[in-house]
Amino acid sequence: MDIGIVIVAAGRGERAGSAEGPKQYRRIGGSAVIAHTLKAFLDWSKAGPIVVVIHPDDKLLFEEAVSGLATERVSTVTGGATRQQSVLAGLQAVAALDATHVMIHDGARPFVDRALLDRISARLEAGDDAVLPALPVTDTLKRGTEGRVIETVSREGLYAAQTPQSFRLATILEAHRRAAAESRSDFTDDCSIAEWAGVPVAIVEGSPDNVKLTVRRDITMADERLSAAAL
Ligand code: C5P
């Protein structure tokens, strides 16, 4: 089994405050967010070719961000206007390299760890075509509108989805191409596309540390966490 890696990092990260630049290039613990994310995969022995999907304006930012890493196995490709389009660009690039399977990861999740990658790859090795890392929802959930609660929603059987969502490459590439051909552009993750295409999706336990940095505060907290760990 050859596992290609697609890291999507072509977003503008506007929710994290665009004045400071795209969030994947903000520094946490002394390095860019994307450098931490990429290093996690470079350090994982089962990772094959790695494709990072970047915004066309970010080429220099990316080169600077990863300049201290051994990037011989890493190539870049230009992303699209939506995450879904960026993933498809990455999948097409990884399909031209040596890979039978693929892990699709958000560049904005720098704390992905080897134990999680091993749990996922074990399920791919066991023959699952699609694997979702996820954690059961622990908060009490409310449906509301205009600042008022309508009802409490049962959290029974609900999971919060993480990445890397991982697949047999031919399966997810075909599902993505079909979604694009049918002008379905409303998918926010890749397992939703697999579900839509009728592919069964296995769930493995996610990691509580594997958070996505979305708003400015997430980046500050990630920086504090790495600085505390370095003491
Ligand atoms: O915006 P959000 O945090 O949901 O994006 C998740 C990931 O998808 C980020 O790593 C972001 O850079 C990436 N993305 C992308 N191309 C887009 C939009 C988002 O690669 N057009």
Task: Kindly give the distance from the C-alpha atom of residue 225 to the centroid of ligand 1, in angstroms, as a whole number.
Answer: 23
Task: Kindly give the distance from the C-alpha atom of residue 107 to the centroid of ligand 1, in angstroms, as a whole number.
Answer: 8
Question: Residue 86 is encoded by which pair of tokens?
Answer: 């960026």
Q: Is residue 156 pLDDT above 70, yes or no? A: yes
pLDDT tens track for 168-185: 999 999 999 999 999 999
Residue of minimum CA distance from atom 6 in ligand 1: 106
Residue 21 has what pLDDT?
A: 81
| Residue 212 Cα: closest atom of ligand 1 | 3
Residue 13 has what pLDDT?
A: 72
Residue of minimum CA distance from atom 7 in ligand 1: 106
Q: Which of 17-26, 57-66, 127-136, 203-212 has the lowest mean pLDDT?
A: 17-26
Q: Is residue 82 pLDDT above 90, yes or no? A: yes
Average pLDDT over residues 188-204: 98
How many CB atoms sit inside 10 A of residue 194's CB? 24
Q: What is the mean pLDDT of the chain?
A: 95
Task: Give the global pTM.
Answer: 0.96
| Residue 213 Cα: closest atom of ligand 1 | 3
pLDDT tens track for 101-131: 999 999 999 999 999 999 999 999 999 999 9
Q: 167 versus 230: which is more confidently predicted?
A: 167
Fold of 3-230: Spore Coat Polysaccharide Biosynthesis Protein SpsA; Chain A (3.90.550)
Q: Is residue 226 pLDDT above 80, yes or no? A: yes
Task: Kindly give the distance from the C-alpha atom of residue 25 to the centroid of ligand 1, in angstroms, as a whole number.
Answer: 13
Average pLDDT over residues 40-66: 97
Residue 16 has what pLDDT?
A: 66
Give domain limits for the chain: 3-230
Task: Kindly give the distance from the C-alpha atom of residue 13 to the centroid of ligand 1, in angstroms, as a whole number.
Answer: 7
Residues lining ligand 1, Cβ inside 6 A: 8-11, 24, 53, 79-83, 86, 106-108, 212, 214
Using most ligand atoms within 8 A of CB, pick from 7, 8, 216 the residue to mutate for ligand 1.
8
Using most ligand atoms within 8 A of CB, pick from 83, 91, 104 the residue to mutate for ligand 1.
83
Q: Is residue 93 pLDDT above 90, yes or no? A: yes
| Residue 15 Cα: closest atom of ligand 1 | 1
Q: Is residue 84 pLDDT above 90, yes or no? A: yes
DSSP H or E run through 39: helix 33-42
What is the phi/psi pair of residue 176, to 5°? -65, -45
CA angle 71/223/27 to nearest 5° reads 45
Residue 230 has what pLDDT?
A: 78
Q: Identify the three-state secondary structure at position 102.
A: strand
Going by pLDDT thresholds of 50, 70 and 90, the confidence category of residue 163 is very high
Using most ligand atoms within 8 A of CB, pick from 24, 106, 214, 218 the residue to mutate for ligand 1.
106
Q: How far apart are CA 130 and CA 28, in angstroms?
A: 31
